[in-house]
Structure 1
C-alpha cells in the first residue's frame, strides 16, 4: 500500500517531506514485523539487538558502553536491557578485575541457542520483506539510506 493510503495524507509539502515520512513510517513498520516475530520468544527487538552484538564478540566479553555504541537504537537503556537478559540467563554480567567500575557482558550458551532458533526465522522474514525487489534494488536502497545519513 502506498504511503498516502497508509497515513491518510493526500498531499505532501514536498517530495522531501514524503520521503522523510516514508522512512519513518517504514522504519516503524519494519520494527513491528521484527517484534511480532521475536515476541513469542520472550524478548524485545532491543534485547535481540543486544544478543546479536554479544554474539558478534565471539565469546569475548564487551563493556556496556561498547554495547550501547553498537545498538541500532542508541536511545535504549542498555543497562536495563542487559539486566533483563541476565535475569533470563541469556547473558552474564561481570565486574572487571582490573577496573571495578567497568562491567563486562557476554552471551551465554542459552543466549546463543535462542539466536540459533531465531536466525532462520529472521532470515526468512528478511527475504519475504524484500521479495518484490531485485538484489540490485536492495543494494541501491542501502546505498541511498547511507547517503541520507551522510555516509
Structure 2
C-alpha cells in the first residue's frame, strides 16, 4: 500500500505524516472488512463487541460501566447499543435487586447462538485481512503497537 499512490500525490509525504495516514488507511480497511462480515446479522462492530464482553462474563451480569470499560472502541452511547441488542433479543436487562440504581445486563441464549455464527464470519474476515502477514510479522506488529501505550 503506497500512501502517495492512494491519495494521488506526486510529492513525497513526510515520514510521520505518511505513517499516520497508513494507520488510518489500514484502520479503514479493517473496519470495512469486519463490518461487512457482520452485515448479514444486522449488528455493528460495537454491538458485536458488547456481545463478546457479555459472553466473557460467563453468565454473570455486567453493568454499563463494565461494558464501557471493556469496549475496544470507547464511546458514550453504550446504553443505545444495549437497547438495540435488547430489541433483537440478544441481551436482557434487569434492575439489580440489591441496588436499584444499577442495571444488570446479560447475554441471552439467542445472543450466544447468533454470536457463534458471527464468530465464524469474523474469523474468515480476520484471515482475509491478515492473509499477507506471517505469524512472525504479526508478532512484530504487536510489539510495535505496544509502544503506543
Q: Is the 8 A contact 1:96 1:102 kept in 2?
A: yes
Structure-2 separation of matches of 1:98 and 1:8: 60
Q: Secondary structure at the match of 2:125?
A: helix
Instruction: Determine the structure 1 residue equivalent to 2:95.
Output: 95
CA offset at residue 76 of structure 1? 4.8
Q: Deviations along 1:19-73, whole A, 9 cap, x unmatched?
A: 1111122112211111111111111111111111111111111110010111111
| Structure with the larger RCO, 1 or 2 (CA within 8 Å, 6+ apart) | 2
Q: Is the 8 A contact 1:86 1:93 kept in 2?
A: yes
TM-score with structure 1 length normalisation? 0.92
Q: Secondary structure at the match of 1:36?
A: helix
| CA RMSD between the two structures | 1.3
- For structure 2, the 5+ residue unaligned runs are none
Is residue 2:2 matched to residue 1:2?
yes
Number of equivalent positions: 148
Structure-2 separation of matches of 1:83 and 1:55: 17
Q: Deviations along 1:102-144, whole A, 9 cap, x unmatched?
A: 1111100111111111112211221221121110101111111
Q: Is the 8 A contact 2:94 2:104 kept in 1?
A: yes
Equivalent residues in 2 for 1:26-65, closer than 5 Å = 26-65=26-65
CA offset at residue 145 of structure 1? 1.2
Structure-1 separation of matches of 2:34 and 2:76: 16
Instruction: Determine the structure 2 residue equivalent to 1:81.
Output: 81
Q: Is the 8 A contact 2:34 2:126 kept in 1?
A: no
Instruction: Report runs of 4+ in structure 1 exceeding 3 Å deviation.
Output: none
